[in-house]
Amino acid sequence: MPEMSEDDLAAISQLRSSAMRLARRLRNQRVEESLSPTEIGVLGTLGRCGSATPGELARREHVQPPSMTRIIAMLEEKGLVRREPHPEDRRQVVVSSTDQADEMLAESRRKRNAWLADLAGGLTEEEWAQLRAAAPVLYKLAHL
C-alpha cells in the first residue's frame, strides 16, 4: 500500500472512531443481558461455523484455551452449549450450540437488524447507496 496522505489518515481515524461507536451502540441492543460480549461471540461463532473444539473456538475468538474452557463451562451451565465426544479423537470434545442458544441469537439478530434499519432510515438515498456499496468492504476488514 502506498504511503497514506493526511486525508487518508483522517479517513482511517474517522472509520475507527465510527466503527467503535456503532459497535458499542449495537452491543447495547442485546436480547440477553446476562451474557458477556465474549460469551455472545462464542455463541455467534458456533452459529456461523458450526460445532468446534475448545481449541478452535479459542483461536477464532482470540482468547487463551484456559479462558475458553471457562467460557464453555459457563455457557453449558446456562444450557446454551453442549459438549460431545470428538468423533475421531476421544481425548477431545466438540462444542455445539443448543436450540435455546440458536433462538436467542436469532432474536438478537432480528432486534439489532431492526435497530440498524431504523437508523439507516434517516439516511439519504445517496448515503444508503454508499453504505450498501461499503458493506462488503467493511465485512472484509472485519474478517481479515
Structural domain contains residue 13:
no
pLDDT tops 80 at residue 105: yes
Interval 17-73: pLDDT, tens: 999 999 999 888 877 778 888 898 999 999 999 999 999 999 999 999 999 999 999
Structural domain contains residue 123:
yes
CA triple 18-19-20, angle to 5 deg: 90
The answer to whether 90 and 51 have CB atoms below 8 angstroms apart is no
Structural domain contains residue 21:
no
Which segment of 88-92, 96-100, 110-114 scores lowest on mean pLDDT?
88-92
Structural domain contains residue 134:
yes
Structural domain contains residue 24:
no
* pLDDT (0 to 100) of residue 1: 66
The answer to whether 30 and 40 have CB atoms below 8 angstroms apart is yes
Structural domain contains residue 5:
no
Please report which confidence band the pLDDT of residue 91 belongs to, taking 50, 70 and 90 as the band edges.
confident
> Secondary structure of the chain in the HEC alphabet?
CCCCCHHHHHHHHHHHHHHHHHHHHHHCCCCCCCCCHHHHHHHHHHHHHCCECHHHHHHHHCCCHHHHHHHHHHHHHCCCEEEEECCCCCCCEEEEECHHHHHHHHHHHHHHHHHHHHHHCCCCHHHHHHHHHHHHHHHHHHHC
Q: Which three cell numbers stand for residue 27?
A: 452491543
Domain that holds residue 60: 31-143
| Cβ-Cβ contacts under 8 Å for 67 (sequence gap 6 or more) | 58
List beta partners, residue 83.
Answer: 95
Q: What is the pTM for the complete model shown? A: 0.75
Please report which confidence band the pLDDT of residue 88 belongs to, taking 50, 70 and 90 as the band edges.
confident
* pLDDT (0 to 100) of residue 27: 84
Residue length of the chain: 144
| Cβ-Cβ contacts under 8 Å for 68 (sequence gap 6 or more) | 42, 54, 55, 57, 58, 61
CATH number assigned to the domain comprising residue 106: 1.10.10.10
* pLDDT (0 to 100) of residue 36: 87
Domain count within the chain: 1
Structural domain contains residue 16:
no
* pLDDT (0 to 100) of residue 33: 77
* pLDDT (0 to 100) of residue 22: 93
Average predicted confidence (pLDDT) for the chain? 92
Structural domain contains residue 9:
no
